[in-house]
Structure 1
Amino acid sequence: MSSCSLCELPTPDPPITDESVDGEFCCHGCLAVAQSVGSVADADPDAASEELRPDTDPDKLPDDYDEQYLHVDGMHCATCEAFLESTAVDNDAIGAASASYATDTLKLHYDPDAVESDRLPELVSGYGYDATERALSDDTAMAGDVAVVKFLIGGGFFGMMTMMWYVLFIYPKYFGFEPLIDLSGFDGLYLFTQLWLLASLVLFYTGYPILRGAYVSLKAGEPNMDLLVAVAALGSYGYSTLAMGLGRTDLYFDVTVAIVLVVTFGNYYETRIKRRASDLLSELTAIQVDQARQPDGTTVPVAEVQPGDKLLVRPGDRIPVDGTVAEGVAA
């Protein structure tokens, strides 16, 4: 597996390249940074990314600009953030952009008179990035269905088989009971071979994201939790494989399976929480009121409301600003 010439993260197959600059890159963000600095060998990825980021201030935009949050698939480093922000503001209808690869979110400040909100994902998609509107319901959970299926089929089923064999044939021996089969004979070898195959599937299939995260952390020189988990899982797996080859019966494939499944489920749950937190940003934007109704029935932008002004709030309306109820009742 080759690594990015700029950030040293693993590259896709085939890697991102361009004739104007030497090297292979993991994303178009890193490619854009490399093109901006010229020499990759002398480049500081963080400093170059900051240079690539557009110098825009949302507070200086006209009051009639709207906000939109997009979900973006394909971001995995800070240069992706800078590239997407730069790509977005290159469009005249977008005044400012702020990306976060940690939450897969892109916040846009745009001119609603120049572009429709449903066209914004189209403007920033491409080059390996896929932008979609943030859903205002639990439909976003569908994005995690693939991960659930992978966990249940790849991990849950094979992990359940592994633990069942341990409960039936190996754990009784640990507690001093006579095992149901002769673990030192052919039956034991057949059982241990099955355990090895099942544990291998769980470790290298379901646990692939963990192993990949550990590899990336080593390449980047920044140890993380994935590396710690990978050491524990591979350690118990490697010892058990060696012990099986030497004819021993103290195998710990169950430890490998338990570590991978628990951490995988934890990572999936964390992803769901992050996705839900990101969606709340869209919900907050959706419930904001940008117009206030005056007593004569006319509406004005909320930004033009001054302290002391009287406003009319009809039943079912959202209250646009903080204030005191002067008169009126509601259910």
Structure 2
Amino acid sequence: MNNEPTTTSIDLGIGGMTCASCVARVERALKKVPGVAQATVNLATESARVELRVGEPAVGGGPVPADNMEARLRRAVRDAGYEPRAADAMLRPGEQSRWQGFAPIAWGLALSVPLVLPMLGELLGYHWMLPALWQFLLATPVQFVLGARFYKAGWHALLDWSGNMDLLVAVGTTAGWALSVWLWLTAEPGAMVHLYFEGSALVVTLVLLGKWLEAGAKRQTTSAIRALHALRPETAHLVGVDGETDVPVEEVLPGDRLVVKPGERFAADGVVLEGQTQVDESMLTGESLPVAKEPGSLLTAGSINGDGLVHMQVQAVGADTVLSHIIRLVEDAQAAKAPIQRLVDQVSAVFVPAVLGIALVTLLGWWFSGHSFELSLINAVAVLVIACPCALGLATPAAIMAGTGVAAKYGILIKDAEALERAHQVDTVAFDKTGTLTVGKPKLLELAPVPGGDRTEALLLAASLQSGSEHPLARAVLASATKEGLPLATPTDVSAVPGRGMQGVVQGKTLLLGSLRWMESLQVELGSLAAQAALWQSQGSTVSALAERVAQPGARPDEGTVVLRALMAFGDEPKPAAKQALAELRARGLRLVMISGDNRGAAEAMARQLGLKPEDGEVLAEVLPGDKAAQIAQLKQGGHTVLMVGDGVNDAPALAAADVGMAMANPDGGGTDVAMHAAGVTLMRGDPLLVAAALDISARTVRKIRQNLFWAFAYNVAGIPLAALGFLNPVFAGAAMALSSVSVMSNALLLKRWKP
């Protein structure tokens, strides 16, 4: 029996969090639940991702309860004073009224304005001051009914021996309200005393207004994921034994046959069986032009059918579709914490206790220096109100959400916040050649048999040997043989020789087909074709050789002499935008390198077409697939930060070895899933220009994070001393605190304007 612990994760929505201190409290509460390995809470998405160790003994002995874990986590959240919700509560599609949740603010304004107007009147020489009883009756509902949320959350924070924004607001405004009541009740009969009911009421209302504006901005930052969720249609037209019926998408199974009508969204991933159409895949790939589809073409859930009716066979549904993978990637990126956020968490953990200490020092300092207790308390209240660390908690996640969301809109999927933060530090970009910088569909340009040999027979043997191979060069040979109408023979004993080629038996002949480097190791003589091979290589062609093993009488078949039968020249062409993409990256001051398995002549010829400089070491040629990761490790030596861009299965180790891996989707989807899992960034279409775009949005997002953190700290660093020295009254402090959160969110939302 296997008792090894396994790891799984649960996502939760959490309501009622207001600042960075709340995040720390919820994380502590979740980590106390037996079986929790790690808990990451995101203030901007109001969610938590909890990593669980199932099957491991709990602290203090006894097994970790594997069942009802979500219920236990929800209870921990509630006991900490917050509201557990569905994980996707903020992300569910559907139009929400922009005025949703405004009612408490409207009541707060209605009750606070009569308190504030007399103050404004006094500035103009009018005396409209309300009687103390009226001020009390207007301010008290704002303080204790509309402000009840602050007391509830602040009380839970005190029970946990920690602090949060709500505690600061509750303590500060209650002090102002209580001072006003005390001044009113101890005043001489008929005397007009200055009360501070309007300050407390207005601070509560302004904080509520700030949270409402912040919630609206949060909804905008999650709009990218909500838009992706909305791509899923609710029904599909299933073709069954009884004809066509409409079924919920949840009931569609792999292997089902669906009809998709013009203008409808595809309900699942699959392949076209009948019909032709144009498909809009822009929401998935960022490509605005429709893509032609015919029988055999791949279809992606969420894309929009054009003007043709098609029949499709379902290959993947639900969580296995490309759309679900994209949503998961974007959600993961927005849920993860950037390394810079860890510093913010450490600061926020001591921030609220420090502010309470500063407020106490302010109160005592003013009082002991001979000022009235009334003035001393007002200045202490201003310190408490200005210091709320809302902006600090939102600075990083808001920018990450906006940046990753707008990137996904244009087909750039950023896997996690760490990849985002590392990408802007890149100084070296390494490209795999085939399929990344080139089209990746080489053609057989020429075939030269040995003197006295037959070209058609050589092509037939080469195509037959490779008839089951998916290698790009094999496809090129098969395409040529098909074009010439050659009847292929069935090969036997076929085996691949990794990084070199393949061998097998065709029509009784033991054949070997692969690189010239392999032929050289087998001591195959090129004879009169050596000059031809050199010429083709100098022109940028990839050269392969077809050879036959001729067994000597009495010897084993694998001991015979290998003799050349023919040479083949293959040519690929650069992607249309590849040269421009490399020029843009060079203009950013980046070092460029192309990694290729081709011989040096062919690799350098292609590099020059792309604008690369082989003489400056920008070409690494004759690199076996298994050696790409080692080449990346070598590039990283000397402190360089390396980005690797690749598209296939054999690029996955190199993508993982690089500081940042960038997987480029290829049109047929082959190997892309493997590369996506290894890479920190995935480009949903094979456009090299997206590499520079991904680096650009990364740099802009990190810049926004730094700007937000600067402003969040600046508000507090400048505001707390001003309040402590008596230059800020609580009302202005409340307005500044609300403004700090809104400005941080608004600054992050500027990223939504970005276009590649």
Q: What is the TM-score of this pair, normalised by structure 1?
A: 0.48
State which structure, 1 or 2, has the greater radius of gyration over its C-alpha atoms.
2
Q: What is the TM-score of this pair, normalised by structure 2?
A: 0.24
Q: Whose relative contact order is higher, 1 or 2, with alpha carbons under 8 Å and at least 6 apart?
A: 2
From the two aligned structures, give the one with the greater strand fraction: 2
